[in-house]
Amino acid sequence: MTRFALTLEWDGTPFVGFQRQPEGRTVQRAIEDAAFEITGEAATLHAAGRTDTGVHALAMCAHIDVRRAFTPFRFMQGLNARLRPQPIAVTACTVVPDDWHARFSCLGREYAYRIINRRAPLTVEANRAWQVPQPLDDAAMHRAAQSLVGTHDFTTFRSAHCQAASPVKSLDRLDVRREGNLVTIEAAARSFLQHQVRSMVGCLVLVGLGRWREGRIAEALAARNRQVLGLNAPAAGLYFVRALYPGE
């Protein structure tokens, strides 16, 4: 048995998320089906994180166990050939020890949320960013974001359907950066709650629009109540950027 670690990139637009579902297209099912075509084996793909409907990935880490002998290059090429024309690509493939686990060995995860701050309609960025036509005060957004950094109860920013055992998470970094009309919000933590990043982004945009004062972010966090959430950002702007492992 060989354990292959895969680095995955995908456009989440046509998928109902990463995790296999009873109905709807998923990234996990697409890759498992491609692996079955190559190996004739039913194998489970494990990933560093789960993404929701419409969320993209730039470098998701995953692993899969295969009995049949392959070189990493041949296995990667075989998967990519069978995944076409779906918007999924295996960008790297390596052999890892049997005790390495894409999810449980992961020490940190990073997400980025992209906002296009302009009035003109999106063309090439359609389904790949959130268009906010009104001017955003990105400096105010960044200042407000710092009240969320650290270890907190993030109930306010947690989906009602989140299955995590605890709402307490440690947010290592939450930065707001602007380059022209592109506003990027970068979040880093060991793990996140369902919808946590999108919920934080939505409230920060309210600050950027002047609808919320900066201190209201801290107040929403302290409330520990989903009912005070101001706005949940759409999925199209969210990207899983990378997973961190020991030795990296």
Give the residue numbers annotated as catalytic, written as ranges.
Answer: 52
C-alpha of 110 from chain center: 8
Cα–Cα dist 141/85, whole Å: 39
**In contact, 16 and 24? CB cutoff 8 Å:** yes
**In contact, 214 and 79? CB cutoff 8 Å:** no
Run of H or E including 5: strand 2-10
> Residue length, the chain?
248
- Residue 7 in 3-state DSSP? strand
Q: Angle, nearest 10°, between helix axes 196-208 and 215-223?
A: 150
